[in-house]
Structure 1
Amino acid sequence: MSDLRTELSETIDEAEWEWLIPHVKRDAVIVVSLDLDLLDVGEAIANDNIPLVQRWIDEALISKPSNQQLGLWNSNQQKRFNTMIIQPYVLVQEIAA
């Protein structure tokens, strides 16, 4: 495992939706599909792997939260996510209930 990957793996944490709201308000949250590994996405963004990140965007595997998602999460403030901060972004991945 590369040093960056090791460092990033240590930053993965859980957060409740309520804790993420300030980051949504500053348009910094990126939702990562459950089809992807959060660590892989964080590493690609940190390494400026533009072709890979663009492919995930094009395939809708990473995106800004939709209005529908925001509505669901706002109605369940205890909704939990795996998170990783890659400045200036907060990557979030839903934890299946």
Structure 2
Amino acid sequence: MSDVKAQLTEQLAEIEWSDLIPHAQRDAVIVVNEELSIVDVGVAIANDNVALVQQWIAQKLIHKPSFDELSDWNSQPDKKFSTLIVQPFVLVCAA
């Protein structure tokens, strides 16, 4: 396992939506589809693997939260997400 992957794996946390709201307000949240490993996405972003990240965006496997998602999550502030910070982004996947 690469050092970056090991480090990101250790930083993986489960966090409630209420704690993620400030990151959403600064447009830093990226939603990771459950088909992908949030750690693998984090590694790709940390390593600036533009081609792979663009592929996931095109396949709609990673995206910025939609208005509907934000509305839904704001009505459930205790909803939990697997979360990984890869500056300046916060990657989330529904837990």
- How far apart are 1:55 and its partner, in Å? 0.3
Structure-1 separation of matches of 2:12 and 2:2: 16
Count of residues paired in the alignment: 95
The separation in 1 between residues aligned to 2:55 and 2:33, in whole angstroms, is 13
* Off by >4 Å, runs of 4+ in structure 1: none
Cα offset, 1:85, TM superposition: 0.3
Deviations 1:14-70 (A, max 9, x none): 100000000000000000001100010000000000000000000111000001101
1:45 alignment partner, SS class:
helix
Q: Distance in 2 between matches of 1:51 and 1:12?
A: 24
Alignment partner of 1:23 is 2:26: no
SS in structure 1 at match of 2:11: coil
Q: Considering only aligned residues, what root-mean-square deviation do their CA atoms show, in Å?
A: 0.5
Q: Secondary structure at the match of 2:20?
A: helix
Gaps of 5+ in 1: none
Give the secondary-structure state (helix, strand or coil) at the position aligned to 2:85.
strand
**Percent of matched pairs sharing the same residue:** 55
Amino acid paired to 2:79: K
- Taking structure 2 as the reference length, what is the TM-score of the superposition? 0.98
TM-score normalised by L of structure 1: 0.96
Gapped regions of structure 2 (runs ≥ 5): none
